[in-house]
Amino acid sequence: MQQRQLGPFKVSAIGLGCMNICHAYGAPVSEQQAERVLLGALDAGVTHFDTAALYGFGASETLVGKYLSPHRSKFTLASKCGMQGVPNADGVKVRVIDGRPETIKATCEEALKRLKTDVIDLYYLHRWDKQVPIEDSVGALSDLVRAGKIQTIGLSEVSAPTLRRAQAVHPITAVQTEYSLWTRNPEIAVLDTCREFGIAFVAFSPVARGFLCGELNVGAFDAKDIRRSMPRFAPENYATNLTLLPGYLAMANEVGCTPAQLAIAWLLHRGENILPIPGTTSLAHLKDDLGAANVKLDASVMARLNDHINQHTVKGERYNAQGSSEVDTEVF
Distance CA 144, CA 175 (A): 18
The identity of residue 205, as a single letter, is S
235 within 8 A of 268, measured Cβ to Cβ: no
The residue annotated as part of the active site, out of 55, 67, 124, 238, is 55
Q: Is 23 helix (H, G, I), strand (E, B) or coil?
A: coil
Query: How many degrees, rounded to 5, is the angle at CA 203 between CA 99 and CA 189?
Result: 75
129 within 8 A of 138, measured Cβ to Cβ: no
68 within 8 A of 49, measured Cβ to Cβ: yes
Query: How many degrees, rounded to 5, is the angle at CA 184 between CA 291 and CA 268?
Result: 25
DSSP state of 295: -
324 within 8 A of 231, measured Cβ to Cβ: no
Number of residues that this document lists for the chain: 332
- Closest residue by Cα to residue 156 from 182, 127, 115: 127
Q: Is 308 helix (H, G, I), strand (E, B) or coil?
A: helix
Q: How far apart are the first and last CA of the chain?
A: 35
Concerning whether 55 is annotated as a catalytic residue, the answer is: yes
- Residues marked as catalytic: 55
